[in-house]
Structure 1
Amino acid sequence: MDPHLLRTFVVVADHRSFSAAARQLGYTQSAVSQHIAALESDLGVPLLHRRPVAPTEAGERLLEHAGPILLRLDAARLDVRQTATPPAGRLGVGATPLAATGRLAGALAAVRRAWPGLDVTVRVDGRQAVAAGFGTGEYALALVDGVVAPSDPLRLLDTGTPGGVPVAEQPLAVLLPERHPLARRAGFSLDDLLDAGWIDADDVAAPLPELRAAARSDGPRASIRYDGTDLAALVALVAAGHGLVVLPASAVPTGADVTLVPLTAPRLVHRTELLRPRNGGSVVDALADAIVGQTG
């Protein structure tokens, strides 16, 4: 399967248009049509309906594979290039909302004192976006967080890079409005809260699919979705009574009209991990070592 043809297919499927895909890719519309025809011939099945443009059932199945395949190819290209030319001068760092803490700020301060001319860009984004950005070289380092059983690795996109280095682990709690009827409980099993309303905020709070996987029943169901990375906005939604979320206790600012009750079962933890390259160079290695060495 030619990766160039696969990339063209993904762009056409995303735009639902051959002409729009051609403009984005810098090809003629005829070339895009030829790419799709060649890919369909290779696989022996139609991948796109033409009028209107939309993936067929086989095309939907291919899209499920395409993202990880293309990401692995980009990650492999980056990994090979870095063996000869470690990045220098500019430094991109990605972090998920709950991983972008004083730990990163303190480490950056130490490294910038040693390299005062260093051009640093820090971007906060969702978990999978940060992992993908690290895999493709957008970020030299990435801090990611997630909710897992104590002995399990974080579930992130497969970028072909080494596993993350654990840098922090904390217990979890359920965030409720301060006047919630259950706010004075000493602790919760997740199964105690199956009928509660939940906020689906998988780029900030514990993702509901992971909580459902860990629960003994069908697990919590969302009553509202928060598609963002601003922790303060999420806390405000909880305070206003729109639903509950699971967070590490240290993440919630003081003074908010919310309360945290420890999550006692299932046994889960909030973990922060550092993604670092095999051959980052002196600046990247120094920042990585400073992040791992921080205590806060």
Structure 2
Amino acid sequence: MLMAMLRPATLDPDLLRAFVLIAEERSFTRAAQMVGRTQSAVSMQVQRLEGILGQQLFHRGRGGQVDQTRHGQFLLDRAREMLALNDDIWRTFHQPSVSGQVRLGVPDDYALRFLPRVLMRFAEVHPDVEVDVVCAPSKELIPRLRTGELDLALVSEGDTAAGMGGEPLWTGPLVWIGSDRHATHKMDPLPLALSDPSCCWRLSAIQALETTGRRFRVAYTSSAQTGTLAPVMAGLAITMSPATALPEGVRVLGPEDGLPPLPNFQVLMLRAREARQPVTDALADYISETFAREAVKSSQAA
């Protein structure tokens, strides 16, 4: 009898989906419109979930806008994780398995940040697919995509070739990176470790410094992020990077360090015209979904 009393109730995925959608849209009305249901039906789903959990999940404000309560904030990330696991299980058993080879091009900094999650989840559902990963700068991946050497490529906005389009995956800030043990950012002229001259990130860094009149010199050049981070860790230069997946020994530098702001950057996914199907589509779907999840996590952290 005691065990039966302590056994927790099962959380209905449909109720969790309604909760997550309302939390993301901050509106019962918009959430109802997106799922094609009435607002009262969506409200009833939330009421059922609140009844099961015994806590209020939303504060209702002016103009129909809603915000999560403390308990709602606690639930949101966990609900996303539960739904992701539910969807992975469903997809594993119901999505047609594909086989063959898919060739993916990705710069090394994106590979370290995003690729492990993509490959792990993709392999769970499609274990018979051989993924050939080519790590190279964006400007080298684009011509290989054009000639059919690659099926998919992740590239930086600004490095894309005209007419190739591309699916936006990620938008985030570029930041200055320096050693956490050296005051390299105070040197004059400022020593930089940057990519090759055609890189859009390099052009952004130089333009930002020139606009503010900061003297600088390009001390190190490398087409790989590891090659630009090595002199930074040694205290010989500073560089620029997305503020994610940074190694030990470096830190983000900002206006308080006398450095100008940098623009946002965008990651795009490009497909070859003659990409192998359907294995290419399957991997592309997992890439899109992984980036979407990371974007949500980043927005919540902010």
1:98-117 aligned within 5 A: 98-117=109-128
Counterparts in 2 of 1:269 and 1:202: CA distance versus 1, 3 Å: farther
Counterparts in 2 of 1:200 and 1:219: CA distance versus 1, 3 Å: farther
- Is residue 179 from structure 1 mapped to residue 181 from structure 2 by the alignment? yes
Indicate conservation of the 8 Å contact 2:174/2:262, yes or no: no
Cα distance in 1 between the residues matched to 2:159 and 2:119: 24
Letter in 2 for 1:270: F
Indicate conservation of the 8 Å contact 1:206/1:245, yes or no: no
Letter in 2 for 1:133: R
Measured against aligned partners, the alpha-carbon deviations of 1:107-137 in whole angstroms (never above 9, x if no partner) come to 2333333333222210111120012222221
Within the candidate set 289, 292, 296, 2:288 is matched to 292
- Is residue 158 from structure 1 mapped to residue 161 from structure 2 by the alignment? yes
Instruction: Kindly indicate which of the two structures has a greater share of residues assigned to helix.
Output: 2
Indicate conservation of the 8 Å contact 1:111/1:287, yes or no: yes
1:257-276 aligned within 5 A: 258-262=250-254, 265-276=260-271
Cα distance in 1 between the residues matched to 2:220 and 2:133: 26
Counterparts in 2 of 1:199 and 1:103: CA distance versus 1, 3 Å: closer
1:131-146 aligned within 5 A: 131-145=142-156
Give 1:230 deviation, angstroms. 4.8
SS at match of 1:155: coil
Within the candidate set 190, 195, 214, 2:189 is matched to 195
1:1-296 aligned within 5 A: 89-145=100-156, 154-158=157-161, 160-162=163-165, 164-181=166-183, 195-202=189-196, 207-214=201-208, 215-216=210-211, 221-231=216-226, 233-253=227-247, 255-256=248-249, 258-262=250-254, 265-277=260-272, 280=275, 281-294=277-290, 295-296=293-294
Give 1:269 deviation, angstroms. 1.2
Q: Pick the structure with greater CA Rg.
A: 2
Counterparts in 2 of 1:267 and 1:126: CA distance versus 1, 3 Å: closer
Counterparts in 2 of 1:272 and 1:194: CA distance versus 1, 3 Å: farther
Counterparts in 2 of 1:218 and 1:285: CA distance versus 1, 3 Å: farther
Unaligned runs of 5+ in 1: 1-87, 146-153, 184-191
Unaligned runs of 5+ in 2: 1-98, 295-302
Letter in 2 for 1:166: P
Letter in 2 for 1:237: P
Letter in 1 for 2:217: A
Give the TM-score taking structure 2 as reference length. 0.53
Cα distance in 2 between the residues matched to 1:238 and 1:123: 25
Letter in 2 for 1:128: K
Indicate conservation of the 8 Å contact 1:92/1:139, yes or no: yes
Give the TM-score taking structure 1 as reference length. 0.54
What is the count of residue pairs matched by the alignment?
Answer: 189
Give 1:94 deviation, angstroms. 0.4
Counterparts in 2 of 1:158 and 1:194: CA distance versus 1, 3 Å: farther
SS at match of 1:250: coil
Counterparts in 2 of 1:142 and 1:224: CA distance versus 1, 3 Å: same
Measured against aligned partners, the alpha-carbon deviations of 1:81-101 in whole angstroms (never above 9, x if no partner) come to xxxxxxx72211100122113
Indicate conservation of the 8 Å contact 2:183/2:235, yes or no: no
Counterparts in 2 of 1:259 and 1:112: CA distance versus 1, 3 Å: closer
- Which structure has the higher relative contact order (CA within 8 Å, separation 6+)? 1
Give 1:178 deviation, angstroms. 1.9
Measured against aligned partners, the alpha-carbon deviations of 1:45-98 in whole angstroms (never above 9, x if no partner) come to xxxxxxxxxxxxxxxxxxxxxxxxxxxxxxxxxxxxxxxxxxx72211100122
Give 1:102 deviation, angstroms. 5.0
SS at match of 1:180: coil
Counterparts in 2 of 1:230 and 1:195: CA distance versus 1, 3 Å: closer
Indicate conservation of the 8 Å contact 2:113/2:245, yes or no: no
Letter in 2 for 1:246: M
Counterparts in 2 of 1:140 and 1:193: CA distance versus 1, 3 Å: farther
